[in-house]
Amino acid sequence: MIRTTAIAFALAAVLPAHADEISDTIQSALDAYNAGDVAFATEELAFAQQLLQQMSAMSLSDCLPEAPEGWTREINTEMNAGLAMMGGGVGAEAEYSDGTDTFTVRYMADNPMVTAMAGMLSNSALMAAMGPMTRVGRQKYVNPAGTMSTLVNNRILVQAEGAAPEIMRPVLEALDHRKLGEFGT
């Protein structure tokens, strides 16, 4: 009980003074734990984790480039639901369209699939074997079968697909790879 009380005081010191859904959920988990309801405490902690991932995904969406002039951008707010079935992590996705051409830019961060691909995408020789390579700013992209892919900071997969590389390139050039690489740090 003393340890639980210490955890509660530590959480209270870290959490904002005003209540929000995340801090309320963490407090609910702590209350359930103190009452001996471990099952509900576990559920509440899992829900708090989901809320934190949603918050993280929203900040990742902020890294998606604006649409170029004459284009529209529609952010997919359901991206993270699909990632849950692929082992977790966070993601962001937007569809860009000019009425004629349409393509998607997708980010996946801290996902087991990205971790598995990191060895390939961080090795220039393996990337070259995957297909033609191109440079966008200082970032190398591989372009097998119409999908431009790169790995930022060894943990964030960037993919653009659905149109010819020369059509997708202006959006990828507008992407701040450095800012994206700092996501979550």
pLDDT digits (tens, 9 = 90+) for 2-59: 444 444 444 444 444 445 887 888 888 889 999 999 898 888 888 877 777 666 655 7
Higher-pLDDT residue of 86 and 24 is: 24
Confidence grade of residue 171 (pLDDT, cut at 50, 70, 90): very high
Confidence grade of residue 85 (pLDDT, cut at 50, 70, 90): low
Q: What is the DSSP string of 62-75?
A: TTSPPPPTT-EEEE
85, 108 contact by CB (below 8 A): no
101, 94 contact by CB (below 8 A): no
Tokens 């929203």 belong to residue:
58
CA quadruple 177, 71, 147, 117: dihedral sign: positive
Q: What average pLDDT does the structure give for the chain?
A: 80
